[in-house]
Chains A and B, each alone.
Chain A
Amino acid sequence: MVATTDSSTGTSISIRADDEFPVNRGQMCIKGFNAHELIASPERLLNPLKRVDGQFVEIAWAQALDEIADKIKTIQTAHGRDAMSAFGSGALTNEKAYLLGKFARVALGTANIDYNGRYCMSSAAAGQNRAFGVDRGMPFPVEDIASTGCAMLWGSNLTDTLPPIMQYFDTLRARSGRVIVVDPRRTETARQADLHLQLTPGTDLLLANGLLHVAIDEQLIDLSYIESRTNDFAAIAAIALRSHPAYVERLTGVSLDQMRQAVRWLAETPSMILSGRGPEQQSKGADSVSALINLMLALGKVGKPFSGYGTLTGQGNGQGGREHGQKADQLVGYRLIENPVHRQQIAEFWGIDEADLPRKGKSAVELVDACGDDVRGMLVMGSNIAVATPGANNVKERLASLDLLVVCDSFMNDTAELAHYVLPTQQWAEEDGTVTNLEGRVIRRRRVIDPPASTRGDVEILCQLAVRLGMAEKFAFTTAESVFDEFRRATAGAPADYNGISYDKIDQHDGIFWPCPAADHPGTPRLFATEFAHPDARARFLAIDHRPAAEEPDDEYPIFFTTGRYREHYNSGAQTRKVDILVRSKPEPKAQLHPLLADQIGITDGERVVVESRRGRIVLVAHVTPEIRPDTIFAPFHWGGRQSANILTNPALDPTSRMPEFKICAVRVRQVDAT
C-alpha cells in the first residue's frame, strides 16, 4: 500500500493501493483501505498505564520500565527464570519478532516464549517441514495462481480473508482454469468456484486420503515422479486404499462423484492446493496438511511449474513471525532450539554459553494454562490472547492470576484490561521494519508519519527493559535497520536464510524471496523444482489416517461449531472494531445456521440464540442461511466478552504443532427465551 501524509496537518495519512506492487497489484482489502483511521483514533493509548486498586492510572515511562524490570527480577529470583514468559505475534515485524526471541532467551533467560502464530500457521508449518524439509508458506509467488490449470482452495474463504488475491483467480478463470473450494460453508469463495466440496467439519484428512484413493483407483498418480523424487509412498498408499469411497462419503458427506471430478481436474493440468485455516486449526491439523501434501506429491505436482501445495498466511507477518525465534521450539532463521548444532551456532552468535541458552518451552495454550502456576509473569506484544485462545473463560482467569502481566499495544483490549502495566506502542505507519509475506517475499514497512511523542516502539521498549535487566551491550539497537542487520547475519546458513538481504535490495526489487544466502544472490521465488530440503533432496510421504476430532457431536451437544473471519475484521478485532466503516458494515458477530436447523429450534433470521458448549455459552443474533451445512453453526472470532466465540471452542491440541482445535467443537443451540 502507499501511505502518504496529509501535508496540511502532518498528523493524518491517506492510503491507496500500489498499482505497481506485484502481490496486490492495485487492490487492497477494506481493512487496509481504512487502516489510517487507527492512526488518529481518539481511543489510542498515549501514556503508560499502571493498574492501581483496579483502576488504570497514567505513569511515566521511566517509572513503568523500572517497576516492570524490578518485578521481573523478583519473580525470577523467587520462582526461577522460566517463571517469566513472553507472548509474541505474527503481526510483529521480523525485527521485533527476532528481538523478542532474543530478549526472552538472553535478557529473561526463559524457555517460555510463544506467539499467536501457534494459533495460525503452526500446523501448515509442521506439515511442510515434515514433507519438504522446509516451511515457506507458498513455495511460489501468488502470480503463479493465475497460470495454473486448477486451484483447489482448501478451507479458505479468500474472498473475505485475502480479497486482493482474488484477482489471480479471476485471471485463472478467464483462462478457463478451474477453481475447487473445500469448505463446510458455501462462502462467497465457494459460490464462485467450479466445484464446491461441502465437507463435514473435521474430515479434511479423510477427504484427502479419499481423493488419493480415487487417484490411485483411476491411475492418475505419477509413478515416475513418486519413484524419482519422493520416499515412503507405499505406507500411505496402503492407508489410502483402505479409505474406500463408501467410508469416506459417510464421514465427509462428500459424494464420490465430486471426489472423482476434483481428482481428475487436479491431475490433468498443472494444479495447486492452497490451504487456509480450515484443515489446519484442528487437533489433527498437521496431519491434515500432510494429507493434502501427500495428494499433491502422488499426483506429481510439487515443484512443477504453477503447481504444488501452499498455505495462505493470515497475519501480516505470519511467515516472518514464525522464522525468527519467537516460537517455543525455534531460534532465528528457522533453526530448532533442540538441535545441538543450531544451539551452538546461535549461542556463539549471541555471545553466550550454550548451556545458558534455554531449551524448548511451553506452546501457547500450555503457556497460558500454566499462568498462575509455574508461570508468574508475562510480557505480551501484539496479541490479544484473552480473546484469541480457546476456552476463553478459563484463559481470563489464568491471566488474571499472574503476578505480572505487561501488555504492549496501541489500544486497550481484553488482555490489556487484565494487565498490571499497559505500554502504549507505535503503529504500522509510524515504524520501519520488514515483514515476510505469504510467498516468503521479504518486504518493507516504512515510517511515513511521526508517532505521538509519548509512545514508544516495541524495539525501544525491549532494549530499555534489557538495559534494566543488565543486558545493555546485547541490546544496543537504535533503529529497526540495525536489528535487521544483526538478524540477517544470524540467519546465515539457516533454513530461512536472509543473509543476502538488505533494506536497499528489498527496495530495488519489490521484495526478496528467501532463501537469499549472499549479497549477490537474487533470492528464490520458486522452491522444489529440482530438490527438496531434506538431506537426500527427496520429499517424504507421511502415513496418516483419519481420526475423530477431540470433541464430536453427541446427544447432549449435537451440532458442530466452527469459527472463522469476517472480511471487515482482523484477529480479535482489537483494532478493526475501532474503525467506523468496518463496525458499521459488521457491527456484531452472528451465528450462521441453516434453515433446517432454525426450523428445528424454532427461530427465524435475526432472532437471538444461545449457543453453548461444555466450556461456556454465548448469545448471538442468528443469521439463517442455506449456505452452511445443517449440522454446523459458524461464528466469527473477532469479538470478546460475552460474544467471544472462543468461550465455546475446545483447547485440545495437535500433538505435533500444538495447534488448538478452533475449527471443531460440539455445541447445542436454542432460542434465548426457551428454558
Chain B
Amino acid sequence: MAKKHLVIIGHGMAGSRLLDELQSRHAGTRYRITVYGEEPGAAYNRILLSKVLGGADPDTIRMKAETWHPGDDVTLVPRTRVDRIDSANRLLHLSDGSTEPYDIAIIATGSRPFIPKIEGSVLADSSPKPGVFAYRTLDDCLQMRSKLRPGDSAVVLGGGLLGLEAAKALADNGLHVTVCHLMPTLMETQLDETGGKMLQRQIEQQGIFVRCGRTIAAILGCNQVRGVRLDDGTELAADMVVLACGIRPRVDLAQASGIPVNRGVIVNDALATAVPGVYALGECAEHRGRVYGIVTPIWEQCEALADILCATGSARRYTGSKLYSRLKVAGVDVASMGVVKPELASDQTIQIFEEQRATYRKLILREGKLIGAQLVGDTAAAGQLVQLFDRNTTIPLNPLEALCAYSAAGGSTGAALDRQVCNCNTVNESAIVSAIKQGCVSVEAVGVCTRAGTGCGSCRSQIVGLIREHRPAAAATL
C-alpha cells in the first residue's frame, strides 16, 4: 500500500514536537511527511528567547542540533507559507504559487503577537517606527539586540510573562527599563493581586520600574522613538519601545480554507477540524473553548495526535490540559497552577504571606482537592503541589502539610520513628540519643554505653550522624 502524504503546516515548537512524536511512533512506515516552515532555519524554543536577547547564540535555543537530520521519510521545506488548503481536492496552495497534493494536513501555524494600535507607532509610509519592537520571534530578538546600548531607556508595554522576561534581559544589558501594564497588577493570569504586588516590589528592587494600570497612548519622535506618552498624560523619554501585549492565534490559513474558526481553529477531542483530513494543534487551535499559550498543553496535544494518527492509541483523545506556569521573573521564582481566585463560595483558600522573607504562597481547594496554587519567592513545594494538582489527589486534612516535604506530612497513623540503628545488638535510635545526651559524644563512648556499633561496625556512620545532631551544646564546642 502506498504511503500517505502527511503535511505539517508550521515548523515552530508545535510542528517540531509533533514531528518528534510521530517519528518516535515509527510514522515513517505509514506516512511520507512534509513540514512547511515560514522562518528560515531550524525550529527554536520560544521560551528561551530572552537568552538570545541577553546575548546567547541563537543556535543554542534551536529545538534540534545543527547536525540533526529528520530522516528519509521527512522533507523540511523552509521559507514557504501555505496560503490555502483545498480540502475537496486535497491540494495545498503554497506561497510560491505551486500546489502540492496531501492526504492529511495538520495546521500548526501558532500565533502572532498582538500589536495594539498606538498613535505614532508607525511612520508615514506605515512601516514600523525605528525603535519599536514586537517581542515574539528570534528575528525580533536579534534586531533588538543589535540596537541595545547601555544607558539607553526602554519602555516595555505588557507586564505578562514575556514582557517581564524582556524587561529583565534589557535591564541586564544596562538599560533603564520601565514596564507599563494595563491591569492593576502584574501577571494577572497567573497571580492574584497580593502575588502580583509582591512580584512588583521584588522587580522594582531589581531596578526595573513598573507602572500598573497604565498603557501607552502615543509613541513620540518623528523618525525614531524618542519617548512615550502614557494614558494619564505622563511623558517618558525612551530610545526603545517593546510591545509584549500577548498573542493571537494565526487563523488566516484556516479562514482562507473554509475551516471553522472562533478565536482559534476549532478542533474536537481528536484534534480534528470540521474538515475531513485536516487537524490543528498548538497556539492556533481552540479546543473546548480554550486556546493554550504555554508549552506543556501543546506537547500533550502533539502526543495525543501522534497516537491517533499512528494507531498507537487510535482511541486516544485530548480532553484539555491543566495549566502550570513556572518562571523566574527578574530573579524571582514564581509558580502558578490552576485557578487564580476561588470560584465557588465553598472553595477554601489558604494564604501564607511573609513580608520579611518576601514570599507568598496560596492554595485554593475544592472538596479537599487542589484546584489552584501560587507561589512567589519560595517555590520549594512546587514540584509536590503540581503533582497533587495534576493527579487530583486528595490533599492532607491539614493542607499546610502539602507545602512540606512528604516526610513531615501525615504523621498521625505512622509508626513511632524509633529506628533500629545497630542490628547486631538491637539498639534503637532512642537509646543512642539518650546516651549522647548524657555525654557519650564519640562512637566509642556510645558503644561502651549501649553496645551500639560494636558488632559489624556498619552502623557507625549513623551513630556519627546522631552525635552530630544530638550532642549537648557544651560538648559541641570541644
Contacts and interface: CB of A to CB of B under 8 A. Distances in A.
* Residue of A164, A192, A242, A631 with highest tally of chain B CB at under 10 A: A242
Interface string A247-281: 10110111111100000000000000000000000
Given A159-B461, A241-B48, A30 B408 contact: no
Given A30-B424, A249-B383, A594-B410, 15 more contacts: A33-B456, A198-B405, A234-B66, A238-B63, A241-B63, A250-B383, A257-B382, A258-B380, A568-B423, A595-B409, A596-B396, A599-B413, A605-B414, A630-B410, A631-B393
A613 B47 CA distance: 40
A288 interface: no
Interface string B423-460: 11010000000000000000000000000000111111
B411 interface: yes
A126 B293 CA distance: 40
A242 B45 contact: yes
A626 B455 contact: no
Contacts of B67: 234-235
Nearest to B296: A247
Contacts of A200: 387
B345 interface: no
Contacts of A618: none
Nearest to A602: B413
Interface in B357-393: 379-384, 386-387, 390-391, 393
B124 interface: no
Interface in B21-71: 45, 47-48, 51, 60-68
A26 interface: yes
B356 interface: no
B367 to A, nearest CB: 15
* Residue of A34, A166, A196, A249 with highest tally of chain B CB at under 10 A: A249
B412 interface: yes
Chain B interface, DSSP helix/strand/loop, else mixed? mixed
A36 interface: no
A625 B417 contact: yes
B296 to A, nearest CB: 6
Contact of A159 (B326, B426, B457, B462): B462
* Residue of A17, A159, A241 with highest tally of chain B CB at under 10 A: A241
A627 B407 contact: yes
Contacts of B66: 234
A316 interface: no
Nearest to B375: A255
B407 A250 contact: no
Given A235-B68, A596-B410, A623-B415, A252 B383 contact: yes
B432 to A, nearest CB: 13
A26 B64 CA distance: 52
Contacts of A217: 51
A176 interface: no
A334 interface: no
Contacts of A29: 456, 458
Interface in B280-328: 295-296, 299, 324-326
Nearest to A547: B24
Contact of A30 (B51, B419, B456): B456
Contact of A238 (B62, B326, B411): B62
A29 B422 CA distance: 11
B333 interface: yes
A605 B460 CA distance: 28
A242 B63 contact: yes
B325 A598 contact: no
Interface of B: 17, 45, 47-48, 51, 60-68, 295-296, 299, 324-326, 333, 335, 379-384, 386-387, 390-391, 393-394, 396, 405-415, 417, 419-420, 423-424, 426, 455-462, 464-465
Contacts of B51: 217
Contacts of B414: 595, 598, 605, 624-626
Contact of B426 (A164, A242, A585, A604): A585
Contacts of B48: 241
Contacts of A630: 393, 406, 409-410
A606 B61 contact: no
Interface of A: 17, 26-30, 32-34, 159, 163-164, 166-167, 169-170, 186, 188, 191-192, 196, 198, 200, 216-217, 234-235, 237-238, 241-242, 244-247, 249-250, 252-258, 567-568, 581, 584-585, 594-596, 598-600, 603-606, 623-631
B382 A604 contact: no
A607 to B, nearest CB: 10
Nearest to B394: A600
6 contacts: A163-B456, A235-B68, A241-B63, A249-B324, A256-B333, A625-B417
A32 B464 CA distance: 22
A27 B460 contact: yes
A33 B424 contact: yes
* Residue of A159, A244, A626 with highest tally of chain B CB at under 10 A: A626
Contacts of A631: 387, 391, 393
Nearest to A25: B457
A250 B296 contact: yes
Nearest to A599: B413
A26 B386 CA distance: 46
Chain A interface, DSSP helix/strand/loop, else mixed? helix
A254 B405 CA distance: 11
Given A27-B456, A163-B459, A628-B406, A257 B419 contact: no
B214 to A, nearest CB: 30
A192 B65 contact: no
Nearest to B401: A596
B132 to A, nearest CB: 30
Contact of B415 (A33, A241, A624): A624
B461 A170 contact: yes
B410 A257 contact: no
A169 B460 CA distance: 12
Nearest to A252: B383
B413 A605 contact: yes
Nearest to A167: B461
B306 to A, nearest CB: 13
Given A250-B390, A629-B406, A604 B413 contact: yes
B464 A170 contact: yes
A189 to B, nearest CB: 10
Contacts of A250: 296, 324, 383, 386-387, 390
B457 A198 contact: no
B370 to A, nearest CB: 13
Contacts of A253: 383-384, 386-387
Contacts of B407: 186, 198, 626-627
Contact of A28 (B296, B384, B456): B456
B45 A241 contact: yes
* Residue of B64, B387, B406 with highest tally of chain A CB at under 10 A: B406
Contact of B64 (A238, A599, A624): A238
A630 B401 CA distance: 12
A285 to B, nearest CB: 18
B379 A599 contact: no
A169 B461 contact: yes
Contact of B423 (A30, A624, A629): A30
Contacts of B390: 250
B326 A245 contact: yes
Given A250-B386, A604-B413, A626-B408, A238 B379 contact: no
A238 B65 contact: yes
B379 A256 contact: yes
* Residue of B295, B379, B383, B405 with highest tally of chain A CB at under 10 A: B383
A26 to B, nearest CB: 7
B456 A32 contact: yes
A237 B65 contact: yes
A30 B425 CA distance: 11
B458 A30 contact: yes
A16 B338 CA distance: 60
B456 A596 contact: no
A14 B426 CA distance: 21
B295 A247 contact: yes
Contacts of A254: 383
